[in-house]
Amino acid sequence: MVRALDRYVFIEFWKIFVTTALGFPILLIIIDLTDNLDKYLGQRLGPGRIALSYLYWLPDSMFMVLPAAVLFATVFAIGAMTRHSEITAAKASGISFYRFIAPIFVGAIFATTLGLVLGELAPFTNKKRLEILQANRVSLSSDRYNFAYAADRGRVYKIGALHLNDATIDGMVIERKGNGPDYPSYVISANTARYNPKKGWILTKGAMHLIPDTLRNVTFSFDSLVDRHFSEPPKQLTLTQKAPTDMGFRELGRFITSMERSGADVNVLRVDRMLRIAIPITCIVILLFGAPLATSTQRGGAAYGVGVSLATTVIFLMLIQLTKGIGGKGMIPADLAAWLPSIIFGIVGAILIARVRT
C-alpha cells in the first residue's frame, strides 16, 4: 500500500514539476521572440535557425527556474492532497507527514541532479546559440589594450596591446592549467609576438615556466617560440569574449585563477561560479520551505498556492541578486554570498517543517 502511495505522490509532483520547468522557459522564449523577431529577420535568419537557437537556449533558461518548479510542484501537489483529505487519511493509517512527502524529496534530488547537468550543458549550448545568431562582432578599433582571452583547452591569453593593422602584440602571457607531470601547467611570457599566416603567432624574447607540480618550476628563456595551439588570427582575438555564462565550472575556475593572478577583481565571477552548485541544491532546500506552507493551502485554494509560490520565488531571486551584489563588492566572502539565500531558506524551512503536525 505504501509503495502504491509513493508512486501516486511522486506522479502528482512530477506532472506539475515538468509542466512548470518547461512552461516558464517557453514563456520566456515567446517574450524574447516577440521582442527580437524583427532583428532576427533583419539578419536573414530562417525559421529553422531561429527555432534551433531557442532550443539551445532551453538548458540555460531551465537552470534558473528549477527551484521555482520544485516549489510550485510541492505546493500544488501537497495542497491538493490536503484539500482532498488524503494527507489526513494517510496519517490515520499510521503514515507520518515526513514519510508521506518522501517521494517528493526524491523528486527534489532528481531536480538537483538535473540542475547540475544543465549547469554544465548550458555553456556549450549558449555558444552554439551565439554562433547561430551571429552575436560575435569585430571591434571597430584597430588596437585593443589590456584584456584577457579565454581559449580552448583551459588556456588563457593575457595581452598588453594588440595591434590589428600590423598583426603584432606587445606584452603577452599564455597560461595553461595542467593536471600533473604528464600534462604539466605552463606559463609563457613574451615581450612581443607577430602573426604569421602559416606558422601562427611567433613569440619573441621571453621565458617559459613548466610547472609539473607544486614543488617544481622549470624555466627556459627563448629568443623566439611558436606555440602551436596559439593559432587564433588577430581578428579572432577582437571578437566578443567568452562570457562567464559560456564557460563550464572547471573552465571558469581556471579563468578566475588566471585573472586573479593579474590583479583583477574576480569576486563577481566567484559568486557566479558557486551559484552553479548552490541553485541546484536549493531544489532540496526549497522543499523544506514549501511543504509546510502547502498544508495550509486549503484555506485559499489554488489562488493561495499560486500566491505563496510566486512570492517565494520573487523573494528568492531578489536574495540572489542582493547577495551577489554584496559578494561582488567583497563585503562578504564570495562563496558565502552564493550560498546565503539557500542558508536563509533552509533555516526557515527547517523551523517550519519541524512545526508541522505529523
pLDDT in tens, 172-227: 999 988 877 888 888 999 999 999 888 889 999 999 998 888 778 889 999 999 98
The tally of CA atoms less than 13 A away on the side-chain side of residue 334 is 15
What is the tens place of the pLDDT at every residue in 30-62?
Answer: 998 888 888 888 878 888 888 898 999 999 888
- Model confidence over 298-356: pLDDT tens digits? 555 555 656 766 777 788 878 888 888 888 888 888 888 888 888 888 888 788 788 77
User: What pLDDT sits at residue 205?
Assistant: 93
Residues paired with 170 in a beta bridge: 161, 192
Do residues 240 and 147 touch, judged by C-beta distance below 8 A?
A: no
Give, in degrees to the nearest 5, the angle at Cα 350 between 349 and 356. 90
What cell numbers appear for 106 in the block? 526524491
Distance CA 49, CA 67 (A): 30
pTM of the model: 0.67
Calculate ∠ Cα 276-280-283, nearest 5°.
155
What CA–CA distance (Å, rounded) separates 305 from 299? Answer: 10
119 phi and psi angles, rounded to 5 deg: -60, -30
